[in-house]
Structure 1
Amino acid sequence: MKDISFRVSMISEDSNSEKIQFTIKDSGIGIDDEFKDKIFNNFTQGNISSMKKYMGTGLGLSISKQFANLMNGEISFESSFGKGSTFIFTCEFKKTNDKKQVMKRKNIESDKLNQHNDRQDKVILYVEDNLISQEVMENIIRSNGYKYISAYNGNEAINILKNNKVDLILMDIQMPELNGFETTQAIRVEELEGKHIPIIAITAYAMREDKEKCIKAKMDDYISKPFEIENLLNIIEFNLRT
């Protein structure tokens, strides 16, 4: 079982802002030296074979780097292959004493709380064989008020659907055992007489014909990696409403 620890600390502060440091450490497989200089690229795979046990970091770390840059921070890591990784990122938060800004922030927080309450009964299943991507997606999904379940491959996803209520599926394409297309076809056969579950393809493929292939495979929507979180959430909201 992989152990994960999370620590938050303030590293600097002045009258206008404060800088916060986040440290995440895990005891996973770690990162091979030959991939360390590419780890924050938009899409990197450590092993491109279809039967690989672990994927690269095509989704999570690119998004994390964007987050850090947008918040005047930075991200770094230490890792030993086979021994785990430690990721450190900083973010700068502005202070404000303006009453209008404080009220505006409170109203925004209230709206978000109401939105989260509306979403809390919605369950999203993420089918992806990259463990880091699963962790990043879990943070995105849970922080926006949804319930979250993950599956490592297509067979695991099908078993989960037999025993759990799921409202929407985020489906990777390249996976061992059953790929995203095969998994979608199996799900559609099982639900012929039941509730239709929206399936959104999440893939590194970005060609027009790839999107058409996803729709032809009876997927409901499509988003390519790396994606903007707001765009992902909009697609989820749209498909949950239809």
Structure 2
Amino acid sequence: MESTADLIAPRAFSKGIELASLVEADVPVSLRGDPGRLRQVLMNLLGNAVKFTERGEVLVRIGLEEETPTGAALRFEIQDTGIGIPEALQRRLFQAFTQADGSTTRKYGGTGLGLAISKRLVELMGGEIGVRSVAGAGSTFWFTARFEKQVVGASSEPLPTAALDGRRVLVVDDYEINRTVLHHQLAAWGIEDWAVSSGAEALTALREAAVRGRHFDLAILDRQMPNMDGVALARAIKRDPAIADVRLIMLSSLGGRADDEEIGQAEIVVCLTKPIKQASLRDCLARVLARTCSGPVQSPGALVSAPAPALVSNGVRVLIAEDNIVNQKVALLQLRRLGYSADAVANGAEAVEALSRIPYDIVLMDCQMPEVDGFEATSLIRGRSGPVSHVPIIAMTASALAGDREKCLAAGMSDYISKPIKVPELHAALQRWSPAHVRASGGAPQMAAGTIAPAPSS
């Protein structure tokens, strides 16, 4: 669900719409279903929600509908503040080629076929689909789907949470939907949270808490707020000795992130990009709060002891194109530990589509994938116009022959690492092609010779 929201996020944020997601605490973690069908339904309903919303927000909510020892039924809700749908037309929405009226088609485009397809896909997943709406007051599309429970193996490493229980966190965001989502997430992790809607209210809350001797351990600040934005608020907090010890995390919309120098000067420890992934936020909070008991506030760079890779977000966004689900999960975990924000898609076609929506900094491209393989996808990307055609693409392949280097270069790939992926080699390749390193070196580096293994001797 979160990777699908990432694909829609650029469109939402370009319209000034807040996009948030919430997975209820009682939803089982390890479930097996049909990710392709689920992604297609979510993409259609989320895309429609953003399309028909001019201002306000879109919320994706997942809750537990029913649970048995072997399976679970989940309920997905996509809620928007858009144009709404008259009651008389709602029962016909899931028929092919139906839209609310002709003016909707002229203004927004489309034929309504997507909802009919979504209905069929939901039924194939053992669920139902429906809508609640009031004309002019937004809509909530919902559907259910059934999943099998998976046995959680030893490789499923739980995120650290001991540092979260009983901590006090202040949430500062002008959108109520974001405050609500964060409240549910923080409460589920044992955190005592307090939410305010402006910078002025945040300063008051922090100072009053300090006077009572109940200091906040951490504050989560929205980057873009009226009157006093997140960076200005961070500076005001650090100027006041009574509240300067509070750790600061900033949330920003895609394209709205402050530059690294500005973040460092404001003593913001981490900057995360919306929509925030629940596991990434929990991991980040645990690691940041675990360090608050060891001394005074440090600079952002002091959080990690060299030479270990960063444990919190470094602002670089990576796309993984890999058809094997296990390999996807391993790569996502490795990247998160290295401090990268990452999303995964299952083939080259999805990679090309994702890059058309989100300005990823680096692509990790598996070479052998169904439908569109890594070589064809790279050629398609290089043939695009604009900055996307120059995105660094690092090939991943189980083969490590000398001729693979030439094949990767011919396809337009930037670098090459062999499977199974070793973390030091992955880290080195990502550092070579990170935007900061490319800028500092005055241009793209050459493919590292050491990444190509020699041909085996006969």
Asked whether 1:170 is paired with 2:364, we answer yes
The correspondence for 1:26, drawn from 19, 30, 33, is 30
Paired residues for 1:90-101 under 5 Å: none
Give the equivalent residue in structure 1 for 2:387: 194
TM-score by length of 1: 0.55
Query: For residues 333 and 372 of structure 2, what CA distance do their matches in structure 1 show?
Result: 25
Q: Secondary structure, in 3 states, of the residue corresponding to 1:138?
A: helix
Task: Give the CA deviation at 1:163.
Answer: 1.1
Measured in 2, the distance between the counterparts of 1:171 and 1:202 equals: 6
Amino acid at match of 2:32: G
Please list, as runs of the form range in 1=range in 2, the aligned pairs for 1:58-77 lying within 5 A after superposition.
Answer: none
What is the alpha-carbon distance in structure 1 between the residues aligned to residue 308 and residue 398 of structure 2? 34
Question: Quick check: 1:88 aligned with 2:281?
Answer: no
Distance 1:204 1:114, change over 3 A: closer
Name the SS for the 2:421 alignment partner: coil
Same amino acid, percent of matched pairs: 33
Distance across 1 between alignment mates of 2:417 and 2:409? 12
Q: Distance in 2 between matches of 1:221 and 1:201?
A: 6
Q: CA RMSD in A?
A: 3.5
Amino acid corresponding to residue 183 of structure 1 in structure 2:
A
- Residues 169 and 198 of structure 1 are in contact (CA less than 8 Å); yes or no, is this contact kept in structure 2? yes
Task: State which of 428, 432, 446 in structure 2 corresponds to 1:234.
Answer: 428
SS at match of 1:190: coil
- Is residue 365–residue 374 contact of structure 2 (8 Å, CA) maintained in 1? yes
Between 1 and 2, higher relative CO (CA 8 Å, sep ≥ 6) is seen in 1
Q: Secondary structure at the match of 1:214?
A: helix
Distance 1:176 1:134 in 2: 15
What one-letter code is carried by the residue in structure 1 that aligns with 2:427? L
Question: Which has more strand, going by share of residues?
Answer: 1
Structure-1 residue corresponding to 2:282: none
Return closer, same or farther for 1:117/1:134 CA change in 2, 3 Å cut-off. Answer: closer
> Does the 8 Å contact 1:28/1:85 carry over to 2?
no
- The one-letter code sitting in structure 2 at the alignment partner of 1:147 is S
Query: After superposition, where does 1:23-172 map in structure 2 within 5 Å?
Result: 26-28=30-32, 84-88=150-154, 109-111=303-305, 116=310, 120-172=314-366
Q: What are the ranges of 5 or more consecutive residues in structure 2 without an aligned counterpart? A: 2-28, 34-147, 158-293, 439-458
What secondary structure, in the 3-state scheme, does the structure 1 residue paired with 2:412 have? coil
For normalisation by structure 2, the TM-score amounts to: 0.30
SS at match of 1:87: coil
* Residues 133-142 or 114-123, more deviating: 114-123
The letter for the 2-side match of 1:189 is G
The unaligned stretches of length 5 or more in structure 1 are 2-24, 30-81, 92-101
Structure 1 Cα separation of the partners of residues 360 and 152 of structure 2: 33
* Matched letter for residue 26 of structure 1: S
> Residues 27 and 84 of structure 1 are in contact (CA less than 8 Å); yes or no, is this contact kept in structure 2?
yes
Aligned length: 155
Give me the whole-angstrom Cα distance separating, in 2, the residues matched to 1:137 and 1:210.
Answer: 21
For 2:324 and 2:371, the matched residues in 1 are separated by 14
